[in-house]
Structure 1
Amino acid sequence: MPTPHRRLSDPRELNALAHPVRMAIIELLSISGPLTATELADRLDETPANCSWHLRKLAQHGFVVEAEGGKGRQRPWQVPGLGFRWDEEHASATGEQRRAAEGLSDVMMGRAIDRLRESQQRAPEDTDEWRAARNNTEMVAWLTADELREMNDALNAVLDWYVERLTDPGQRPAGARLCEFVAWGVPTYFPGVDPA
């Protein structure tokens, strides 16, 4: 499994990312490579000034860096590496760290759910081939902690099969489209259902 380039624990870093525009900037730079504030603004329906301001905030924490080429308003930005990891429930985390991590998780999951809804709305416009390839899955199962860890590790291994295609366009086969998978494996709590 590829290791995310950065582990976050400082509440200031977590809070800096926990903003929808900043997260959108990180996502676009991760997917599309270096972009200027103007290019980001066009894609995000924001102003270049607003994107510049958010880029500077991200740069203060090392989440983005200037890319080569361009000057002034035409300077491109890039991410220095792909992926972040943070713990919401780490035992040693302070209350402030937990709240900041939960805030970042909420922003990320909210954005993923928004993309799912958009994909569902656009599905009727898609080809039969792409509609047949779609899938939504939800399940619950009785597992031990070891089994839950094994299942999460197995899901992560499958999700990592094509991760190199994100940064190497040469590995993308003809007809490939950007697809998203969101998974979580956690203990769940139903009213009146106690552990076995």
Structure 2
Amino acid sequence: LEDIVEDIFLDLLPASCTTKYFTSKRSSFDIFTRIENILLALGAEVVRTPTEASFSDLKSHIGVAFRLQKELPNAIILDQYTNIANPLEHYDKTAEELLYALDDNLDVLVAGAGTGGTISGIGHKLKEIVGVDPIGSILSDPEHNEVSAYEVEGIGYDFIPTVLDRDIIDLWMRSNDKDSFETSRLLAKHEGLLC
């Protein structure tokens, strides 16, 4: 079971797996429809969940994944929100890849914060980390817990994931949907980066 469809798309489990279930927040973005179609072609069952469902809501992508884990025989969830292997993988691999690609010449990392695994793992390896959190999320300021809707996928939450080490982040920057999508399009057009 995977509770974030865009993450599992990057991994694409072998088609030989007999049963695969993925929960997915509803999204208006065409790319997620394409991801779901690929997963369906590989024999997966995609369960759509409401985007507005909070982390603790049984209807959320996480709540549905854990319900399915109880209902389906031999089902497992790697649970990137609490699994320490998440930041460790980014400490051991992603950070090393960045340092290698940049000849150890990296001054500042600016990265979105979702589960916290990437930014926490890389942050422990590097240092001087700027976390990007969408307006409407509470990751950058848990005391200010006024959650509101935002369209950017993959970063921000209405809870603090266990694996997010907030102490590793030197500075938080808030992002809004309009600027995020415009910047994403510019990076794709001028740098060939899909983000």
> After TM superposition, is the score higher than 0.5?
no
Shorter-normalised TM range: 0.3 to 0.5
Alignment TM-score, normalising by the size of structure 1: 0.33
More helix by proportion, 1 or 2?
1
Greater RCO (CA < 8 Å, at least 6 residues apart): 1
Alignment TM-score, normalising by the size of structure 2: 0.33
More strand by proportion, 1 or 2?
2
